[in-house]
Amino acid sequence: MPLEAPFPSPADRAAHLNTRYRHHSATAVIDRALSDPTVGRVALVSSFGAESVVLLHMISVKAPNTPVLFIDTQMLFPETLSYQAEVAAKLGLTNVQIVRATDTAVQTADPDGTLHQRDTDACCTLRKTVPLEAALSGYDAWITGRKRFQSGSRAALEFFEPDGPLRLKVNPLAHWDPSDVQDYMINNRLPRHPLVAKGYPSIGCAPCTSPVKPGEDPRAGRWRDAAKEECGIHFINGKAVRGPLPAGETA
């Protein structure tokens, strides 16, 4: 649905929507995101990771033709690629779009596939951030599966947040806790990512993801031993954006 809103910025749109839908459920937020002209044209961005099937199922029930953008970094686990095909078929998702870096960009910046060993931020920019930004150019908002409990940088997450000068991010599961996720998956008999049973509660690219020990933070296996919590697709100007920017700052 085209954007129809008299708001001067995404921060104003996000503030309006958070007030309007503050006490709604996750499914209600998705329903509104797909139909509210204040949100505009929407895509779901999914990693098809450990918990991704929850939002994918909600979307399949509401509107299975919703664009689903899957970032294939070409460094994913084989299990993730197989799981993506399995889930898309099982849920009847009819508009999954594979997003990749161009061959030219990869050959220029990472010809031997070792950039992640030297500079994980540059690798994420090459293989995730830039391709996703290009794929999102036709949308006013995108839906993510981020949740407050996942890391410190997400602790203040709201349902709606600004994403640069033009777009919104929609986080329907922002207020869910781990038991909510598991209960939804069990109650709806959803397929699990095969790596979860092998100790991977959070799954990214194979070279930068390791198993997590009992008692560790679920995201401890992402970029282990590095001062890094996000791949970069949830950053603006190098900062995690969790709501309207402070006065005087611009995106």
Structural domain span for residue 188 = 10-240
pLDDT (0 to 100) of residue 7:
65
Per-10-residue mean pLDDT of the chain, 251 residues long, equals 66 90 90 90 95 96 97 96 97 97 97 92 92 94 84 70 90 91 96 94 90 82 61 43 35 31
Q: Is 124 a catalytic residue?
A: no
Residue 208 near residue 77, CB atoms below 8 Å: no
The whole-number pLDDT of residue 157 equals 83
What is the token pair recorded at 86?
């399995």
pLDDT, residue 244, reads: 33
Per the domain annotation, does 19 fall within a domain? yes
Exposure b/e, 21-31, CB count within 10 A at least 16 = b: beeeebeebbb
Report the number of distinct structural domains present in the chain: 1
Q: Quick one: which of 55, 80, 81, 28 has its CA closest to 146?
A: 55
d(CA 101, CA 125): 10
Return the closest-CA partner of residue 137 out of 242, 245, 244, 41: 41
In a domain, 4, yes or no: no
Tell me whether residue 63 is in a domain: yes
CA distance 234 to 251: 13
| 5 within domain boundaries | no
Instruction: Identify the DSSP state of 246.
Output: P
In whole angstroms, what is the distance from residue 247 CA to residue 18 CA? Answer: 18
Place of tokens 């209600």: 28
Report whether 123 contacts 115 (CB < 8 A). Answer: yes
| Within a domain: 144 | yes
Give the pLDDT confidence score for residue 242 in this predicted structure. 32
Q: 44 has which bridge partners?
A: 68, 143
> Is 247 inside any structural domain?
no
The pTM of this model reads: 0.83
Among 123, 124, 208, 231, the active-site one is: 231
Domain of 46, CATH number, reads: 3.40.50.620
Angstrom distance (rounded) from CA 53 to CA 244: 29
Specify if 229 maps to a domain.
yes
Q: What are the backbone angles phi and psi of residue 45, rounded to the nearest 5°? A: -100, 120
Domain contains 21: yes
Specify the pLDDT at position 227: 52
Structure confidence at residue 4 (pLDDT): 58
In contact, 215 and 124? CB cutoff 8 Å: no
